[in-house]
């Protein structure tokens, strides 16, 4: 008889809601993936890489061309934001960048690199749902700090109070899934003070780094010298190039942490598929392929928010990511999970409740909707929501 190592771990709410949406044929705004095609030029780049013979194992840290493209991206983004690139120190492609099979595996590998049995890790909740289980799988203890409705910003006094001599890591995520908030400079100052005081490392989940709105800028931990030396930064090509199914991501960390990260990576992953790495590297030679992402998604966000005007749902702020929170207090007093399920089965629109992202499953009257969809999909969803 096999005894489960993780008796309390269930199926993720993403799988559950997507499955329900498929079963009842609902418009699926639950899981965060686009329903439109990525750029065909990217397909050509990958096909060309295969035809050119890039079909065997890639080097363990990733194809050099792709690591160089990732480093160059930081210069290009900084140039776009500030008009000059003199102040940015891009990560070193050889010693600081590792290509991983997706952001989730990069997160897991970083956690496995740092966390020893009994170590504690601060996680802000609601949180992307892989963090806690990854800590537990490595013998660690997730310690949850609250991001409270409706502003969802950290209470740093709480974070300090939750910290003990066993705390080794704090996981941050901005732009934030599921709430769409983006940290400003003051939050990083508080984080830096916190890390210095308690000597804690940082795992910064920046997979939505290129999706911010209304002139708000994403600040990477890499741009903060007082944090960069103790941080792992995770990004994902899936989010940037509308290819979530390709599962390719990145971990960036200073060389001494990258050396440790690669000790785990070499036996967990070893190497990531070669033609996609080469294809992505060639595609990224044109920086326009990623620099316009905020504008692209701001149009979608604004379109979706406009459509919601004809419903009884309320629109919460959204400064980044491709998720919009909608309040349903005017519509129902059910828990978010019950309402999300009924919205899917009775009204034909699937969304994600937030309580599964919160320890204790505390329910607030909000659901998360993904607007990385064709306008026609958003229109169909809004029509259905208007009838609720």
Ligand X SMILES: Cc1ncc(COP(=O)(O)O)c(C=O)c1O
Binding residues for ligand X, rule: CB under 6 A, are 32, 102-104, 128, 173, 177, 205, 207, 236, 238, 244, 247, 249
> To the nearest whole angstrom, how small is the minimum distance from the Cβ of residue 236 to ligand X?
3
User: Please, which residue, 34 or 348, has the CB nearer to ligand X?
Assistant: 34
218 beta partners: none
What sign does the CA torsion over 30, 32, 37, 43 have? negative
> To the nearest whole angstrom, how small is the minimum distance from the Cβ of residue 205 to ligand X?
5
> To the nearest whole angstrom, how small is the minimum distance from the Cβ of residue 238 to ligand X?
4
What is residue 183's three-state secondary structure?
coil
Are 88 and 75 a contacting pair, CB within 8 Å?
yes
Tokens of 232: 């792992």
CA angle 153, 154, 159 (to 5 degrees): 175
Are 200 and 170 a contacting pair, CB within 8 Å?
yes
User: Please, which residue, 249 or 348, has the CB nearer to ligand X?
Assistant: 249
User: Please, which residue, 247 or 300, has the CB nearer to ligand X?
Assistant: 247
Are 348 and 10 a contacting pair, CB within 8 Å?
no
User: Please, which residue, 171 or 381, has the CB nearer to ligand X?
Assistant: 171
> To the nearest whole angstrom, how small is the minimum distance from the Cβ of residue 244 to ligand X?
5
User: Please, which residue, 58 or 207, has the CB nearer to ligand X?
Assistant: 207
> To the nearest whole angstrom, how small is the minimum distance from the Cβ of residue 177 to ligand X?
4
> To the nearest whole angstrom, how small is the minimum distance from the Cβ of residue 225 to ligand X?
25
Residues with Cβ within 8 Å of residue 101, at least 6 apart in sequence: 247, 248, 249, 269, 272, 273
User: Please, which residue, 128 or 152, has the CB nearer to ligand X?
Assistant: 128
Alpha helix ranges (H) inside 57-184: 64-82, 103-114, 131-137, 156-162
**Residues 357, 32: Cα–Cα separation, whole Å:** 15
Encode 206-242: b = buried (16+ Cβ within 10 Å), e = exposed. Answer: bbbbbbbbeeebbbbbbbbeebbebbbbbbbbbbbbb
User: Please, which residue, 16 or 205, has the CB nearer to ligand X?
Assistant: 205
167 beta partners: 120
Residues with Cβ within 8 Å of residue 386, at least 6 apart in sequence: 310, 311
> To the nearest whole angstrom, how small is the minimum distance from the Cβ of residue 131 to ligand X?
9
Residue number closest to ligand X, CB atom: 103
DSSP-derived secondary structure letter, 245: G
* H helix or E strand, kind and range, residue 173: strand 167-173
**Residues 149, 317: Cα–Cα separation, whole Å:** 11
> To the nearest whole angstrom, how small is the minimum distance from the Cβ of residue 368 to ligand X?
11
CA angle 128, 246, 123 (to 5 degrees): 15
> To the nearest whole angstrom, how small is the minimum distance from the Cβ of residue 48 to ligand X?
23
User: Please, which residue, 188 or 382, has the CB nearer to ligand X?
Assistant: 188
User: Please, which residue, 297 or 348, has the CB nearer to ligand X?
Assistant: 297
């Amino acid at each position: 008889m096999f005894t489960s190592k993780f008796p309390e771990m269930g199926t993720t709410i993403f799988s559950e809601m997507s499955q329900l949406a498929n079963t009842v044929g609902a418009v699926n705004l639950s899981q965060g993936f686009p329903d439109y095609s990525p750029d065909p030029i990217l397909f050509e780049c990958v096909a060309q890489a295969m035809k050119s013979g890039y079909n065997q194992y890639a080097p363990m840290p990733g194809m050099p061309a792709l690591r160089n493209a990732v480093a160059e991206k930081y210069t290009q983004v900084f140039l776009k934001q500030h008009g000059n690139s003199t102040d940015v120190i891009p990560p070193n492609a050889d010693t600081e960048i590792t290509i991983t099979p997706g952001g989730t595996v990069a997160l897991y590998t970083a956690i496995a690199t740092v966390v020893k049995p009994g170590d504690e890790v601060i996680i802000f909740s609601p949180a992307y749902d892989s963090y806690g289980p990854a800590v537990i799988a490595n013998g660690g203890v997730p310690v949850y700090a609250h991001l409270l409705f409706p502003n969802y910003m950290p209470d740093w006094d709480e974070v300090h109070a939750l910290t003990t001599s066993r705390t080794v890591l704090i996981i941050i995520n901005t732009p934030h899934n599921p709430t769409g908030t983006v940290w400003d400079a003051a939050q990083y100052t508080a984080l830096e003070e916190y890390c210095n005081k308690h000597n804690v490392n940082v795992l910064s989940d920046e997979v939505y780094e290129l999706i911010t709105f209304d002139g708000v800028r994403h600040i990477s931990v890499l741009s903060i010298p007082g944090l960069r030396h103790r941080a792992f930064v995770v990004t994902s090509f899936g989010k940037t190039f509308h290819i979530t199914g390709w599962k390719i991501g990145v971990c960036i960390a200073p060389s001494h942490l990258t050396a440790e990260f690669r000790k785990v990576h070499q036996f967990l992953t070893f190497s990531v598929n070669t033609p996609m790495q080469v294809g992505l590297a060639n595609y990224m030679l044109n920086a326009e392929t990623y620099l316009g992402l905020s504008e692209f998604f701001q149009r979608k966000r604004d379109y979706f928010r406009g459509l919601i005007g004809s419903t009884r749902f309320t629109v919460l702020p959204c400064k980044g990511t491709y998720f919009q929170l909608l309040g349903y207090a005017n519509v129902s007093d059910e828990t978010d999970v019950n309402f999300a399920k009924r919205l899917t089965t009775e009204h034909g629109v699937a969304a994600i409740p937030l309580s599964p992202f919160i320890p204790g499953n505390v329910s607030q009257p909000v659901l998360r909707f993904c607007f990385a969809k064709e306008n026609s999909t958003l229109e169909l969803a809004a029509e259905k929501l208007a009838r609720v």
